[in-house]
Chain A
Amino acid sequence: MSKFEYAPAPESRAVVDIASSYGLFINGEFTDGAGGAMKTVNPATEEVLADVAVADEADVDRAVAAARRAQEKVWGPMPGAERAKYLFRIARLLAERAREFAVLETLDNGKPIRESRDVDVPTAAAHFFYYAGWADKLGYAGYGADPRPHGVAAQVIPWNFPLLMLAWKIAPALATGNTVVLKPAETTPLTALLFADLLRQAELPPGVVNIITGAGPTGSALVRHAGVDKVAFTGSTAVGRLIAKQIAGTRKHATLELGGKAANIVFEDAAIDQAIEGIVNGIYFNQGQVCCAGSRLLVQESVAEEVTERLKRRLSTLRVGDPMDKNTDVGAINSAAQLERITALTQVGEDEGATRWTSDCPLPETGYWFAPTVFTNVSSAHRIAREEIFGPVLSVLTFRTPAEAIAKANNIPYGLSAGIWTEKGSRILAMADAMRAGVVWANTFNRFDPTSPFGGYQESGYGREGGRHGLASYLVEGGAR
């Protein structure tokens, strides 16, 4: 036993009431779904948290119709300054009820309470605050004097940041005068349903935001629905392709935020200790279940050994376990299916000859867990260096020259994010210029801010979210219809 054992410091779950079953939130009311029910579980314990309704095509129809009515009669004609008031109110309520949302997010998703408390919920509230500020200034955002909304936005979001992705989607849509039908992921619907409760508290007019739950078929029905003007999706590249096919040839606009396999490039002159922290934050944050995760570490050869050695020592101090414990750094994998995928892909890594190192941290017996893992001796040809693993698994590659780093970093079908670590300012600028990636972080990684645009190249998707750019995705091009 080590000298300094931190005693458990569990966050109380008493701050949130979880109902035994949830309906669909359509036109400001919770209603039953016609598609039956599904269960959502706590991935850290496999405990069933609640039954959640499944929306079928008729339910989708009702939701889209409610959104259309609200858009045409209430939300669209409403002056921007009035819309802003609702958004500010939502932001304030989210900040006030932060603890409740953080606890529920951790229970449903498996991420550590430290992250949901310090990152997810505050950043979600910040997005509503930020876009509330734009709602009455759209004429000055550079999209013409009187930019128009699309109308009804269908939004499908993933399970890795359930509340934050909801905020990324809903805040700019509402600020620009669109109304929303949102489908959260089937494994993590609870914070979206709690958010529906918050919307009622904020007295948002009925139908402006509708939340329907279900799995793939529900999402597909929503995206295909003829009454939808704009589709916004965050998730896997495979599903993104499917959506692109489904809406091809229609008048629907789309933004797709898809997968990534980011290069995190460490030069020999980097501030090594801070680079180690950045690598850890890049790939072990949220158990690596981050589309912009820094899953490919490119280290300059001269410091490769030192960096991997320091990294392993640092990883040994990461605390894996009960996500509700305030001292936990790495929580549970979101689902059994995802754990299976991570396990399979790491096996491929071993089979292809990469050297595997896994932290010897103890793992809980129930729930879905994967210990922080590093692969060294990885080459660009290995599958673990090309495919998105979406788990706490880092592949380490080396390079000799900046040109080689650029070539390796860009040699991938994805292009969502990249990281550069060097003390040399001119190199940061030159590298950032050469990276084919939507976001390039310098001497940091995985930082999110509502004012900063986010979005990828190639198979990482199209369109931008966040910042002023995020408004454009919800406004008709040219400013007037």
Chain B
Amino acid sequence: MAVTTTHPATRSASQVNTDASAVVGSAQLSNTALRTFLHGLPGTDAVGLEGRAAQLGSRSIKTTAKAWGLDTIISMIDLTTLEGADTPGKVRSLVAKALTPQPGDPSCPRPAAVCVYGDLVPVAKEAIGAAPVAVAAVATGFPAGRAGKAARLADTGDAVEAGADEIDMVIDRGAFLAGDYRKVYDDIVAVREICQSRTTPAHLKVILETGELATYDNVRRASWLAMLAGADFIKTSTGKVSPAATLPVTVLMLEAVRDFLAATGVQIGVKPAGGIRSAKDALKYLVAVNEVAGEAWLDPEFFRFGASSLLNDVLLQRIKLSTGHYSGSDYVTID
């Protein structure tokens, strides 16, 4: 059960844009048409959803399944540093960690990407060189997304120009909660156009910030809105708002991408981010991917973890599986 890591940067170009009008069933994507469609999606029963997530979280993953799971988790991590105090030196050491996660064990897979602020993309690109690790940049006025549209688009343009392979954008939660779906849709389309403006388009991940969307119904609607507008990934959180990723929200988004594939033939990825710190938790997410969306999503191209401290716990578990005992935190590098 070896993990095959595809080079995210050399994946096939972004998928064909969905014909949103056809899905929504209205030639004009007016705010009313979008609202009618999004509010017609099946509702979500909170008790039932949380019960299902708890049940998925109780699977017992051991031995060979655990070994496969740990390696798969590593290959799905977007190793992240998103702090105001980030320095080129910190990004370079993050890249070094991504290139050699477990010094002395070349069989350890590499994370899918490193995720940084846009201004540090050139540093990350240079440090990675030709290695098969992608550079993801947060853009559009991350994390609040409350800058003017011109500033948000310019922010995206800078990151794309600097060579970012993937763009993590935030949606305007204020507009979404106010019911201005068309505005959110237009924003995503505009950012997507910038991502597509290169020969090798940047992949677009749309951050819903589910902790601010208040209801599960809103999470489902925001997921569909982002997918209709051409997101390659839908992502739970910035990591700056609590609660960040939760298992129930991720289960719900997995249901949304599964249903979107059935409706349109387009497969969209899911990225829970923030708060997933232990291998045990991450394995629960893998179980959810496997049983809710299906094994087509068990691939870094369609599922990612946005995390900074998760990798070390997975590495400790990995060492435990191979040696039979736990080693201390000094046996993995801090960054």
Contacts and interface: CB of A to CB of B under 8 A. Distances in A.
A444 B298 CA distance: 30
Interface in A239-293: 269-275, 277-278
A122 to B, nearest CB: 14
Interface string A5-47: 1111100000000000000000000000000000000000000
Contacts of B47: 274, 443-444
A212 B318 CA distance: 53
Given A271-B45, A273-B44, A277-B51, A7 B65 contact: yes
Interface in A321-363: 326-327
A57 interface: no
A7 B66 contact: yes
Q: What class of interface size applies to chain A in its complex with B?
A: 20 to 34
Contacts of A8: 62
B49 to A, nearest CB: 6
Nearest to A1: B1
Main DSSP-derived SS at the B contact region:
helix
A274 B295 contact: no
A443 B51 CA distance: 12
Most buried by A among B52, B60, B286: B60
Interface residues of B, number: 29
B51 to A, nearest CB: 7
Interface string B260-277: 000000000000000000
A6 B63 CA distance: 9
A327 B159 CA distance: 45
Contacts of A3: 1, 68, 290, 295, 298
B65 A6 contact: yes
Given A270-B42, A272-B42, A273-B42, A7 B62 contact: yes
Contacts of B44: 271, 273-274
B298 A443 contact: no
Contact of B298 (A4, A6, A118, A270): A4
B241 to A, nearest CB: 25
A366 interface: no
B49 A327 contact: no
Contacts of A326: 58-60
A5 B66 CA distance: 10
A317 B60 CA distance: 15
A443 B48 contact: yes
Contacts of B58: 114, 118, 326
A270 B298 CA distance: 29
B42 A5 contact: no
B45 A274 contact: yes
Contacts of B69: 4
A329 B44 CA distance: 24
Interface in B36-85: 42-45, 47-49, 51-52, 58-66, 68-69, 72
A12 to B, nearest CB: 13
A2 interface: yes
Contacts of B68: 3-5
B15 to A, nearest CB: 21
Nearest to A8: B62
A61 interface: no
Contacts of A317: 291
Given A4-B69, A4-B295, A444 B48 contact: yes
A387 interface: no
Interface of A: 2-9, 114, 118, 269-275, 277-278, 317, 326-327, 423, 443-444
Given A3-B290, A4-B295, A271-B42, 13 more contacts: A3-B1, A4-B65, A4-B290, A6-B60, A7-B61, A9-B61, A270-B42, A271-B44, A271-B45, A271-B48, A273-B52, A274-B45, A274-B48
24 contacts: A3-B1, A3-B295, A4-B65, A4-B68, A4-B69, A5-B1, A5-B65, A6-B60, A7-B63, A7-B65, A8-B62, A271-B42, A273-B44, A273-B49, A273-B255, A274-B45, A274-B49, A275-B48, A277-B48, A277-B51, A277-B52, A278-B48, A326-B59, A327-B60
10 nearest A-B residue pairs (beta carbon): A274-B48, A9-B60, A274-B45, A271-B45, A7-B65, A326-B60, A272-B42, A7-B63, A271-B43, A423-B43
